[in-house]
Structure formats: C-alpha cells, structure tokens
Structure 1
Amino acid sequence: MATKKQRHAIWPWQGGECASEGCRDPIDHVHHEIPWSLGGPTELGVMTGRCAVCHTHVQSREGTIRAVA
C-alpha cells in the first residue's frame, strides 16, 4: 500500500490526472503496476495514479479483483 507521501508525490508527477491512456479524470487510487498482492514493490517508479473507474478496470484485467454481476 502506498504511503501518504507517495500518494502526494504521484499527484503532481501526473498533473493530477489518471495515468490511463485517454483518461483525464482526477486520481482517486494509487495502482501498483506489479500487483501488490503478487509481491509488487511499493516504490514510486512502479506505481501510478488512476481514477476509480480505470483502477477497477486495470485490476479486473489483472485478475486481482473480480467483477460482481
């Protein structure tokens, strides 16, 4: 899980916008590009800020969460 300092560093680094291509929504979540549940490190170089919708989409593609029908 990202620390408060890391979350605050990601916001200006990305201009406050989601890292997903074509999305300009504000950052709501810090995403581990190498899933944290699979041992991904909590380092700025491998984390991105995502809006809530993109974060859920990326996690469901990775299989780290399941969509509820």
Structure 2
Amino acid sequence: MFSFWILIGSILSVMLLPLVELSFGLVVSAVGLLVMGILQWHWRAAIWPSIRKHQRPLLEQTDLSA
C-alpha cells in the first residue's frame, strides 16, 4: 500500500512540475515587465527632460539660416 502512495505521489509531482515552472516563469516575466515599465516611466519623467533642457541652449546657439 505504501508503494501505491509513492507511485501516486511521483505521478502527481511529474504532472505538477510543469505547472510550477510555468507559474514561476510567469511571475518572473511579470516582475521583469513591471521593472522595465518603471524604468521607462522614470526615463520619460526625469531623465529625458533634463537631457532636453541641457540640449536646448546648444540648439539655440546654432544658426541654421546661414
């Protein structure tokens, strides 16, 4: 009887292992997308305007009409 439960447990573990791996992969992907979204928002909100602010005087100094 004990070997029967070992057999059932091994079959269930083999069946559930892909689900565990899939859910772990989905969690890692979701966290990665969240981090990339935060970095992109931070780039647009903080870094890109400061770059544009520093570039604006350089663009105004160049005379394009000549």
TM-score range, shorter chain: under 0.3
Instruction: Tell me the TM-score normalized by structure 1.
Output: 0.20
Q: Which protein has the bigger helix share?
A: 2
So what's the TM-score if we normalise by structure 2?
A: 0.20
Question: Comparing both structures, which one devotes a greater share of its residues to strand?
Answer: 1
Highest relative contact order (Cα 8 Å, sep 6+), 1 or 2? Answer: 1
